[in-house]
């Protein structure tokens, strides 16, 4: 049964699934869809063309569906899509995209802690953690199961690879490759994210290959092109290594070494 507090303002055209709960003083706009089982604490504002899937938990003072902080935005129709099972804590902000028909996307089972920001046109994968104060600039991509430490800003157009872990207060200005652990200002890579690999069930055989990959790319003295060639020839059949190679080859801002 849907439960809407008397003080909430919900547009008559908003689409609400079963068992949605909307707390006191929330504001829900005309073009908003809330999937079944989604629960909003007091003072949540959701506007724009925003769709949330099932069983999301949105905490107080979160604002979803405002225009991106982008001078190029010219009132075009764009979107936010948020998947299922996400936890979005206090005072998180998520902006819709710049560009007609474009989207800001967040996947499933993510944990966005208090005051995190997801900028326009950003794409966040599944099971991503953004700790307090993380700020994603416009057009940032964060792949599945990545972890961003508190107060780490990410420059627009940067990519954070899957299962990468970025430590506390680490400004990111290049692409962070998959499976990497690093931190600091300037950002420094320390090794593989071994805990993340273990917790997320990466097979032992692949972990062995990733160790070889790490030594070849980050410790051998080869430049990136040379290292990728050696990787493809020697251990390129492992699916995790394949993803790493593909990520690096597609990087436009360059990777941290």
Note the pLDDT tens digit of each residue in 73-100: 999 999 999 999 999 999 999 999 999 9
CB 50 within 8 A of CB 70: no
The C-alpha torsion from 77 through 80 and 81 to 83, rounded to 10°, is -170
Q: Dihedrals φ, ψ of 13, to 5°?
A: -95, -5
Residues with pLDDT less than 50, the chain: none
Query: For position 1, what pLDDT does the model report?
Result: 81
Say what the pLDDT of residue 26 is. Answer: 98
Q: Would you state the pLDDT for residue 221?
A: 85
Q: Is residue 249 helix, strand or coil?
A: helix
pLDDT in tens, 6-41: 999 999 999 999 999 999 999 999 999 999 999 999
Say if domain 197-250 classifies as CATH 3.90.550.10. no
Residue ranges, CATH 2.160.10.10, the chain: 3-142
Q: Whole-prediction pTM value?
A: 0.96
Q: Distance between CA 234 and CA 149 in Å, rounded?
A: 33
What pLDDT, on a 0 to 100 scale, did the predictor assign at position 45? 98
Note the CATH number of domain 3-142.
2.160.10.10
Q: Are 174 and 189 in contact (CB under 8 A)?
A: no
Give the pLDDT confidence score for residue 233 in this predicted structure: 86
């Amino acid at each position: 049964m849907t439960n809407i507090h008397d003080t909430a303002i919900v547009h008559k055209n908003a689409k609400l699934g079963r068992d949605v709960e909307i707390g006191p003083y929330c504001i829900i706009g005309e073009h908003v869809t809330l999937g079944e089982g989604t629960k909003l604490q007091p003072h949540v504002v959701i506007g724009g063309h925003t769709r949330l899937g099932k069983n999301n938990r949105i905490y107080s003072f979160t604002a979803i569906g405002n225009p991106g902080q982008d001078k190029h935005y010219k009132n075009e129709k764009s979107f936010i899509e948020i998947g299922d099972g996400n936890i979005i804590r206090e005072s998180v902000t998520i902006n819709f995209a710049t560009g007609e028909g474009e989207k800001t996307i967040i996947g499933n089972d993510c944990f966005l802690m208090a005051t995190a920001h997801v900028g326009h046109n950003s794409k966040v994968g599944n099971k991503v953690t953004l700790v307090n104060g993380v700020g994603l600039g416009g057009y940032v991509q964060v792949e599945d199961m990545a972890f961003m430490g508190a107060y780490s800003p990410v420059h627009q157009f940067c990519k954070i690879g899957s299962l990468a872990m970025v430590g506390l207060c680490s400004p990111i200005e290049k692409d962070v490759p998959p499976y990497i652990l690093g931190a600091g200002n300037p950002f420094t890579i320390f090794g593989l994210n071994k805990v993340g690999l273990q917790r997320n069930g990466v097979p032992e055989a692949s972990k062995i290959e990733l160790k070889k990959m790490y030594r070849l790319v980050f410790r051998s003295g080869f430049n990136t092109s040379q290292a990728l060639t050696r990787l493809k020839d020697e251990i390129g059949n492992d699916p995790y290594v394949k993803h790493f190679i593909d990520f690096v080859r597609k990087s436009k801002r360059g990777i941290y070494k």
